[in-house]
Structure 1
Amino acid sequence: MTWFNQSTDSVIKALKSDYQQGLSEDQRGERQTAFGLNEINQVKHASALHIFIAQLKNPLLIILALGALLSFYTGHHVDAFAITTIILINASITFIQEYKAQKSIDALRDMSAPHCHVKQNGQWHEMSAKQLVPGDIILLKTGDIIPADCRLVETTQLEVDESALTGESNLIRKQTSVLESSDLTLGDQLNMGFMSTPVHNGRGIAVVTATGMKTEVGKIARLIETTQNRLTPLQARIHALSKTLIWAALFIVAVIIGIGFYKGLTLSGMVDTSISLVVAAIPEGLTTVVTIVLTLGAKHMMRNHALAKYLASVETLGSTSVICTDKTGTLTQNKMQSVQIWAGGEHYHIQGEGYRPIGEFKDDQQRPVTPQQHPHLNHLLEMSALCNEAQLVEQEGRYHIQGLPTEGALVVAAAKANIHKEALQQHHRIIKTFPFDPKRKMMSIIIQEPDNSYQLIVKGAPDVLIDHSEIIEFQDKHLDVTSNRYLIEDVIHTFGSQALRTLAIGYRHLSEAQIHLSQEELETQLTFTGLHGIIDLPRPEATQSVKECHEAGIRVIMITGDHAVTARAIAEKMQIIHANEEAIVITGKELNALSDEELGNLAPKIHVYARVTPEHKLRIVKALQQRGDVVAMTGDGVNDAPALRKADIGIAMGDSGTGVAKESADLILLDDNFATIVTAVREGRRIYDNIRKFIRQDLTANVGEVSAILFAFLLISGEPLLALAPLMILWVNLVSDGMPSLALGVDVAEADVMKRSPRDQKDSFFADSLGARIIVRGLVMGGFTFWMFHYALHLGMTLAYAQTLAFMTLIFGQLFHVFDARTFTSLYRRNPFTNRLLLLAVFGSGALSILMVYSPFGNLVLGTTPLQLHHLVMTFFIAALPTFILSGIKELFRFKWL
């Protein structure tokens, strides 16, 4: 039922309650049985054991586990132990990173009011908010958090902050009158109170209409519960890569077994070869290196005020094609400012930022002016400061407003002209105040001047104030309102087209006898002095960030609870849309009239969504995702939580954001700065590039290992001889290749990283011919490795010596290859000395590998044997040939696949 359409008597009657008596104890007991406690349901989180077991389901680890079992079964206990250790290390690292419980619903629970005042049997009682039931009569006062959804029955200057729920920045002045429209958004339901929203001013009495999961906050909680997180683009690509590698390994093993049976080989020989091929085909260090690189990326982002809660989200921003951003506090400063004044027929502009009382005044030609030298402006600012209940407060160099934000904007404007209420009251004594009333839309005071004359100062809505005025101050003239009303209306229209909220100032001289007149009699025959144009200004750095997003091919969409006109004007100021652009601005009502298909078709043209609900935000994200977009959603309110969870990456505000938004998000902006998103996007793109580079490096080495073993199996007659022992392959994958790969993961970004369009999320890691490069380079590297193995056997060397020679050829080959892998062009186009960590990793990897050849420990564990010095030098130079020759051919002929 739409309670806001019902009279208070009808609502109380429908809920079978009594305004004077409230509910009895028996009635409450019956209703608690029917409706349950007034609380948000808690989500059951997965146990630590369940999360760890989930890591072991990684397809790559399952294949390795099979290899470990086969090794153990065939008596290769050292191999089995080494492979098992690798499996546990991989699973543990991922488990540690993912062992973070989802606390979205817990945060919603924390927002609910712990206690409230309830009428029971005609008396007010304080009780736990959990005990509330529909039909309860509750008392609301300044400082309370509304404990349940309710229909207001009585209000006295009641103002509620609903920004966390609706996204609208202004305090909402509540009323009790019936609202006629049947499809009002939450922000327009002025006679309703909503669970978890704080009361800033005034007092009210209400009847509870919904509790627990039936409240608006409860509906959001249910959306959060039922919204499934999608795989991030990186996770999807790694899953696809895992399947490819598994099928490749199984296919190769099947080929080996088939050929082995055909050649009449023993089962033991085929099993040994198969185990080696499985170990060679699977990049054991891949998930570990990805995790470490993402962790380092997360730390780098943290230093730039972006906290990544989940490692995969570090890369996801780099894939983002659309950023859906809330307006208030994200794109704007969430601080109302008077930026323009019309006084005495003249326009003035006010500079400054936030609530700091520092800013220059300029005339319509942008020339600096001194307010004290402009009587109409000075008079307006003095009246603005006097007829005002807000206060500007400084704490440790930071300024904030106590009171209504719009009134605070006037106080700050006056302070910028060094006009302060406290100083004015020394000469202008306030003897009577008529507080603001939403029905009459005005506030007024009576002051006594130093000469003992009296004056009424009025502040209010311009359309109302002008109806109560007889005179307009215009330069040095006093014009009658009847024939010159258009002057004010033109200013109102001009301010409105710039998304400026308007507040007018007027006055009236009074005799001593008139000060005792009623409020209605006093607030007439006014002299209209001027208007303030007030706005929540865009963050300067956010505007530049929007521009950078466009350059990076990322579309920025504003989603806000504000009105469409205000939202469009802000979007134009921030260049989200251009004034001459036919961009669609759509409201929540219009969105309701669209089918999902129609919304999907319109989505590419819509730049601003205004007056939207949580369900709308979720629907918008789904529509964009169905088009193939990778969607980032920023937000700070409770109403943003479901969309934050559904988006590919949810971005919450760390300073102004609610606990619900932070817990639902993947990334938290610690400085609430939209510009930080651009830094995070750049970091995400750099990380993805580097992941592709070390995947190329790893898989090229894997192809080299597999091909070297296959060549030996196919080309050498008799029982199969392994060109590389299983533990040699593990050493290459985890140490000699792992260290340089990790150094690739922290490489600096290439120059064009923010000039490219976002990646198509359908693209695999192997897009842009990367797969062909891996296969070609790997086969050549494997061919050289096999040749050195065969060369040693031809000289009559032992199998261990031949394997060691092949081992060092492969190691040196992939150490040279890493310098080509660190760029998408070729090693001849990127200075190898710009990544000192890579140079250190290459040197260290080579040195450790040589140590494993010439040390008893390495001989025992890996099965190596010391090489003659000239053979070691030969492997070094021969291993360099594939990289330098193939890269040279690529430079000459521009082959992308090479």
Structure 2
Amino acid sequence: MRDRTAQSVSDHEAGIGTAAPWTRSGEDVAAGLHCDAGTGLSMSEAQQRLDRHGPNRLAEGKQTSPLTLLLGQFKNPLLIILMIGAVISLLTGHMVDAIAIAVIVVLNAVISFYQEFSAARSLAALREMAAPLAFVKRDGEWAEIPAADIVPGDILRFKAGDIIAADVRFLEAARLAVDEAALTGESEPVDKHILAIDDPELTLADRLNMGFMSTKVTSGTGLGIATSTGMQTEVGHIAHMMATTEEPKTPLQERIEKLSKVLIAAALGVVAVVIGIGIFHGMSLSEMLTTAISLSVAAIPEGLPTVVTIVLTLGSQRMVHNNALARKLAAVETLGTTSVICSDKTGTLTQNQMQVMRLWAGGKTWDLTGEGFDPTGDFLDAEGRAAVIAEEQDLAHMLEVSVYCNEAELMLKDGRHAVQGNPTEGALVVAGAKVGISRDALKKDHYDILQSFPFDSTRKMMSMHVRTPDGRKVLVAKGAPDVIMSRAKGILLNGEIRPLDDGIRAQVEEVIEDFGGRALRTLAVAFRYAEDGTFDPADPEHDIVLLGVHGIMDPPRPEVKRAVADATSAGIRTVMITGDHAVTAQAIAEQIGIRTSEAQTVHTGHEIDGMDDRRLAEVAKNAAVFARVTPEHKLRIVKAMQANGEVAAMTGDGVNDAPALRTADIGVAMGITGTSVAKDSAALVLLDDNFSTIVSAVREGRRIYDNLLKFVRQALTSNVAEVSTILFAFLLMGNEPLIPLAPLMILWVNLVSDGIPALALGFEEAEHNVMRRAPRTRDHDLFSDGMKERILIRGLAVGGISYYTFSQGLAMELGFEMAQTMAFVTIMFAQLWHVFDARTTTTLFRKSPFGNPKLLMAVGISLALSAIAVYSPFGHYVLGTASLPLSILLACAFIAAVPTFVLSGIKEVFGFKFL
């Protein structure tokens, strides 16, 4: 496979060939880009290249104007039906009806517009990460120029704190380290060198002689030659993926769209039937249009879009209290549908605090207790006994050297312990502090640093020339175990220096192998006395004495194992997707329960490169870990899972995660360590960067979806009741049918007398089995599990008794307005009784009516407003109601209770699911 970066380089300048820049020497790269590393480009050549390649900036994405966004809200099919109803009302002289319907349409559109207008500005955040200025050599002179003017072939200079302004091949590197976490996922700064690496398929994180746009130099200095600029850089590639990636519709949006189509079809069907009956009975066009308006208003739950938004908003507010911030309301419900969580490792599943977990010194292995950078804990031997440091000379000596040969500092920050400096070095400082060993204490004992030999990527170790309190001069060193072992001639055992013979060497190598098998990063510590008081600066670490080996890792968060288990019991699979090495990732996955059997596979980014999309989708079904992955890999993995019908949540914190966060059904960004690009691309932000928060949010998402179903049941039962009331009149009243419910009466029921209590269903607590159910499938039907039958049967029953009270009012010769009011009151009372049954999938006899105080309050408000609608001049004028005698009002209330209590009683006795 031809590397994309290599291709972009060849596109920039003819002559560089197709070889990736990290596989060639710096001189070859400079020659291919026709640049003299000593003088840089000439100003005229730089201008020509700038004209040819364009500015070194990320392309602007297409912006949708607010007006276009607002007008787009009126494409909602439900709103279109209502707009038609408003126009017909206007044409037929029903001005009050037209205004009321139009207000409902505009309110729904404005709420939806506001939600979308607050959408992500990911590309803008990505552009803001770029360096504004850079030091570039032109015509042999160093100059600070706008980063946008950098071109391929420019020579750039870097120091600690600088943002790298383009993709570069390093030509010089002096203790150069770069923080690439946002781009590659590496948790620690990466040490850079200038040697060619003979592997054209190398992943981004392993290109140790390359620097990438928007990453930050943390230490050292360096020179590099720009190989790619603008959209040709690695960050530019991510920006392109973000710009061309469409965010999928959420499962809730898909279900609401499907529901809209069903409601529209039902409305049109009922209107057609009624008009057919009207034509058969010789009704006038005006009468039929009035009836059509009533039916269209009755068939559409006008408050559905608004109530869905309000319920999701209430849910999002509850989630914030649990450290989950929903940036997109639809994400609140999507969480409840999630079937797979693709989680990053560092900081999400782990503590993002390097810690010495295991230590070998003086022939003994010690396990360390404690969490993160907190200097509290014990050293436990094989029998679980805590070390008494005064009795363990070898251990004490090793910790003293580890703490002194160190550049990290342990400090208190905002009441919490933190490390300033390299996290791995910080882990050694914390380990020493657990037994009272610190650099400050050693300095007070007159340990003096005479000379330092800094770490570099060639030696893979650092050392210091120290004078001890007794006046002896000693070299202390730490570094990669293989390097230390290759230079060691002895080992400290029981306070004595012994030769490092083959037997002891094998024992040490066994320890190192054991630590590696536990996914521990190993670091060896050694020392050497200077016989003559001096050290050879060219080779200070020869003939050193091994003190011991540290086993270091970023350990799992204590609560994560339980959270993964909870997700599993809820039918949700957790998959680790990380830029870390496969061995480390697999070990962590097994510790926390993500990988529990051999059937759960582990794959690397290199393996993914060899798979087509179909094969990757097959592999994704059983995968537990994807390691050493790139942004493209993450994007492909998410799409593969979606192709399998999964509802995928993806966590991330870096720029490299942004495309996958946008593509996932729900992108979850880290609120503490996450970049602004990741947060703006995500639908959910974890304020505590904790995986267990996702699982808590899933529970909340399921609760919210259950409550939305309860609302849909309540609202659609009311719609069926309203439509059937009118249908019964047309079917049973002969040649001169009268309309039992006026359009504004129906609007009042939908939005006020029924809408307010239905909204209170959003406060219902979670069902007892909410986290023991399998996730809903993407194509889950809102009308499944008997919902459709319950809505139709109960709606028809309520419609039947509403028509009955209407016909009784006419039969008693109370007048048309009084009869209409009786139907209006009956349907209002019927919905207030029904709302208590809609709270549960069982029956209202199984659930205390006092379990939701807000529902009781809403019912009280609804009764008060309904009284105003029936007994006030406002109600008489706007709704066309008439004041009912108290006896008739109570009779309507009693009759309205019959459908709910009779049908619930039958269900309670016989267990019929469809009731």
Task: Pick the TM interval, shorter chain.
Answer: over 0.9
**What corresponds to 1:103 in structure 2?**
121
Q: 1:324 aligns with which of 336, 342, 352?
A: 342
Which deviations, in whole Å up to 9, do the C-alpha atoms of 1:408-462 show, x marking residues without a partner? 1111111121111122123222212211122121211222222222222121111
Contact 1:45 1:102 in 2 (8 A): no
Contact 1:275 1:726 in 2 (8 A): yes
Shift of 1:394: 2.3
Distance 1:821 1:719 in 2: 36
Q: Secondary structure at the match of 1:586?
A: strand
Instruction: Please tell me whether residue 490 in structure 1 is matched to residue 525 in structure 2.
Output: no
**What corresponds to 1:68 in structure 2?**
86
Instruction: Extract unaligned runs of 5+ from structure 2.
Output: 1-5, 7-19
RMSD of aligned Cα (Å):
1.2
**What corresponds to 1:470 in structure 2?**
489
**What corresponds to 1:406 in structure 2?**
424
Shift of 1:514: 5.0
Distance 2:861 2:177 in 1: 67
Contact 2:119 2:328 in 1 (8 A): no
**What corresponds to 1:798 in structure 2?**
815
**What corresponds to 1:233 in structure 2?**
251
Shift of 1:476: 6.0
Instruction: Please tell me whether residue 309 in structure 1 is matched to residue 361 in structure 2.
Output: no
Q: 2:278 aligns with which of 236, 260, 265?
A: 260
Which deviations, in whole Å up to 9, do the C-alpha atoms of 1:488-535 show, x marking residues without a partner? 111111111111000001122222x25143442x42222211110000
Distance 2:837 2:356 in 1: 58
**What corresponds to 1:284 in structure 2?**
302
Distance 1:484 1:841 in 2: 78
Distance 1:525 1:151 in 2: 36
**What corresponds to 1:441 in structure 2?**
460
Shift of 1:214: 0.4
Shift of 1:97: 2.2
Instruction: Please tell me whether residue 648 in structure 1 is matched to residue 668 in structure 2.
Output: no
Q: 1:834 aligns with which of 851, 868, 876?
A: 851
Instruction: Please tell me whether residue 733 in structure 1 is matched to residue 750 in structure 2.
Output: yes
**What corresponds to 1:86 in structure 2?**
104
Distance 1:829 1:688 in 2: 21
Shift of 1:387: 1.1
Q: Secondary structure at the match of 1:444?
A: strand
Shift of 1:475: 4.2
Distance 1:498 1:762 in 2: 42
Shift of 1:676: 1.4
**What corresponds to 1:451 in structure 2?**
470
Which deviations, in whole Å up to 9, do the C-alpha atoms of 1:172-211 show, x marking residues without a partner? 1111111101100000111110001100111111100000
**What corresponds to 2:27 in structure 1?**
9
Shift of 1:853: 1.2
Instruction: Please tell me whether residue 692 in structure 1 is matched to residue 709 in structure 2.
Output: yes
Contact 2:393 2:495 in 1 (8 A): no
Which deviations, in whole Å up to 9, do the C-alpha atoms of 1:299-355 show, x marking residues without a partner? 111122211111111111111111111111111111111111100011111122221
Instruction: Please tell me whether residue 887 in structure 1 is matched to residue 904 in structure 2.
Output: yes
Instruction: Please tell me whether residue 116 in structure 1 is matched to residue 134 in structure 2.
Output: yes
Shift of 1:482: 2.5
Matched residues, percent identical? 54
Contact 2:806 2:823 in 1 (8 A): yes
Higher mean C-alpha deviation, range 543-552 or range 128-137: 543-552
Q: 2:522 aligns with which of 502, 511, 514?
A: 502
Instruction: Please tell me whether residue 357 in structure 1 is matched to residue 363 in structure 2.
Output: no
Contact 1:338 1:534 in 2 (8 A): yes
Distance 2:69 2:737 in 1: 42
Contact 1:269 1:720 in 2 (8 A): no
**What corresponds to 1:428 in structure 2?**
447
Q: 2:772 aligns with which of 740, 755, 758?
A: 755
Higher mean C-alpha deviation, range 612-621 or range 381-390: 381-390
Distance 1:605 1:572 in 2: 15
Shift of 1:99: 1.4
Distance 1:108 1:97 in 2: 22
Q: 2:217 aligns with which of 182, 190, 199?
A: 199
Distance 1:430 1:398 in 2: 29
**What corresponds to 1:337 in structure 2?**
355
Contact 1:138 1:207 in 2 (8 A): yes
Contact 1:584 1:606 in 2 (8 A): yes
Letter in 1 for 2:123: I
Aligned positions of 1:137-148 closer than 5 A: 137-148=155-166
**What corresponds to 1:776 in structure 2?**
793
TM norm structure 2: 0.96
Contact 2:407 2:421 in 1 (8 A): yes
Shift of 1:770: 0.5
**What corresponds to 1:297 in structure 2?**
315
**What corresponds to 1:347 in structure 2?**
365
Instruction: Please tell me whether residue 461 in structure 1 is matched to residue 480 in structure 2.
Output: yes
Which deviations, in whole Å up to 9, do the C-alpha atoms of 1:458-483 show, x marking residues without a partner? 21111111111122334466353333
Distance 1:195 1:837 in 2: 54
Distance 1:800 1:784 in 2: 18
Distance 1:279 1:616 in 2: 49
Letter in 1 for 2:553: I
**What corresponds to 1:576 in structure 2?**
594
Q: Secondary structure at the match of 1:767?
A: coil
Q: Secondary structure at the match of 2:276?
A: helix
Instruction: Please tell me whether residue 863 in structure 1 is matched to residue 883 in structure 2.
Output: no
Letter in 2 for 1:277: L
**What corresponds to 1:160 in structure 2?**
178
Instruction: Please tell me whether residue 853 in structure 1 is matched to residue 898 in structure 2.
Output: no
**What corresponds to 2:534 in structure 1?**
515
Contact 1:466 1:481 in 2 (8 A): no
**What corresponds to 1:24 in structure 2?**
42
Distance 1:543 1:108 in 2: 34
Q: 2:627 aligns with which of 610, 615, 629?
A: 610
TM norm structure 1: 0.98
**How many residues are matched?**
895
Distance 1:692 1:651 in 2: 25
Q: Secondary structure at the match of 2:60?
A: coil
Letter in 1 for 2:870: V
Distance 1:782 1:302 in 2: 42
Higher mean C-alpha deviation, range 417-426 or range 192-201: 417-426
Letter in 2 for 1:26: S
Distance 1:77 1:822 in 2: 37
Q: Secondary structure at the match of 1:72?
A: helix
Distance 1:518 1:225 in 2: 53
Contact 2:82 2:105 in 1 (8 A): yes
Which deviations, in whole Å up to 9, do the C-alpha atoms of 1:863-882 show, x marking residues without a partner? 11111221111111111111
Letter in 2 for 1:659: S
Contact 1:472 1:481 in 2 (8 A): no
Distance 1:455 1:18 in 2: 45
Shift of 1:365: 2.2
Q: 2:434 aligns with which of 416, 419, 432?
A: 416
Distance 1:567 1:458 in 2: 29
